Amino acid sequence: MIELMPVIMFIVICLVLMAGFPVALSLGGTAIIFAVIGIQIGIFEEIILRALPSRIFGVMNNDNLIAVPLFIFMGVMLERAKIAEQMLSSMAYLFGRVSGGLAYSVIIVGMLMAASTGIVGATVVTMGLLSLPVMLKHGYDKAMSCGIICASGTLGQIIPPSIVLVLLGDVLSSAYQQAQAAAGVYPPKAISIGDLFMGALIPGLILVIFYIIYVAVRIRLRPQDAPLPETQSIAKVSWQTMVFSLAVPLLLITAVLGSIISGLATPSEAASVGAMGALIIAALQRQLDWARLKEVMQSTTKTSSMVFLILIGASIFSLVFRGYGGDDLIMALFEHLPGGPLGAMLVVMLVMFLLGFILDFIEIVYVVVPIVAPVLLMMGLDPIWLGVMIAINLQTSFLTPPFGFSLFYLRGVAPEAIKTTQIYRGVIPFIFIQLGLLIFLAFFPAITNWLPNIIYR
């Protein structure tokens, strides 16, 4: 009976989450119910629950997670300051006389928004409101336009500073320490959120290049999908506005990532630089007042509270899962899979991809990754490469119909002329592009470690 309890726990929590119950309460509540049942029938040690206070205090006392509310504040403030609107106008003016110029503008602005906000929902909604009507007005293919907006918006999952990378970095750091302790490695090596930031930077830029290549090839084969707009239809932008709208976000990105790369600041300290920079930009844009600051603070508090409450619930779930021997079960399962570590990695990637149809990325990070990551790392997989692969896989889950969150975000702001099937059809090529990047990194894992090795080793 005890051997099946971890499997039953995992199935039950997936069903509960699919039913729409609050994530944090579902994680903690399910775990406590299973612990009480186990205690009553004599298959769970009550003493294990005494570790709960220290685990919860560990979450509250985790310095790495200070970056979460700061990066959220930075992203929300920049979104309220209408930086994306100005960037899109400037890029559209620069590329307006090029075939497919609007499509390239959306991709590049999506990349810059990802590197300056890291919030997928805000980026997709903003780009959908600003760029989709313009692309449709100029005769762009509806499905292709929707696919470009959704895919560009999800770049915030992989391009640092990303909330996903912050959360993954914290989970993988703990998993890596567990793996080394099990292997008898002392003193244990450490990985940081900064390592994961640097490991994800080049793959993120490669993904942007893949997007641009796909759009260029498609337009070359089907020029009717992106007609060249008339010159007079392109809104003129002054050079002062253009310089400000493009240079300011680049300066902020350089300040945040540059301080991490140079070793001048930890990711949490760099996040404070980003938050202060966002405040200054909003003030320079004359978009900062007490009402807007209050709105941004409330949004930041709500989102941060949700993340931390989920993390506490996941810590309880993880403790009970391990109390039932779930980690030993996963290890035994992986050891019997064909293909060794790579075979196990393939199974994990497939399971995460499928779970992405029904679960949010935060749920996957806190439910699945703590279970499988220690086992995979014990099998010798590189933690930075593993983190980047998981991040890209989670990014793909934002695009997978019918439950991809980017699809919901765009559907909520798209004109009625856009059919849901067109949104689904438009993202399919980008799903294959991201899967192609996963395969590419599987064959060339050194790409993820090259930059961290140069900077931190």
Whole-angstrom CA distances from 223 to 98, 100, 231, 407 are 12, 9, 18, 25
The pLDDT > 90 percentage for the chain reads: 13
Check whether 112 has a pLDDT greater than 90: no
pTM metric for this prediction: 0.81
Vertex 167, ends 164 and 169: CA angle to 5°? 100
Of 352, 379, 375, 347, nearest to 363 by C-alpha is: 352
Identity (one letter) of the amino acid at 97? Answer: R
Q: Are 123 and 168 in contact (CB under 8 A)?
A: no
Closest C-alpha to 79, from 105, 109, 117: 117
CA angle in degrees (0–180, nearest 5) for 112-116-121: 90
Residue range 288-342, pLDDT digits in tens: 888 888 988 998 888 888 778 877 888 888 888 878 887 777 777 777 777 778 8
Per-residue pLDDT tens digits for 408-436: 778 877 888 888 889 889 999 999 999 99
Which of these ranges, 59-73, 228-242, 403-417, has the smallest mean pLDDT? 228-242
Kindly report the number of other CB atoms within 10 A of residue 76's CB atom.
22
What does the alpha-carbon distance between residue 336 and residue 180 come to, in Å, rounded to a whole number? 22
**What integer is the mean pLDDT of 112-121?**
71
Contact 388, 203 (CB under 8 A): yes
pLDDT at 197: 87
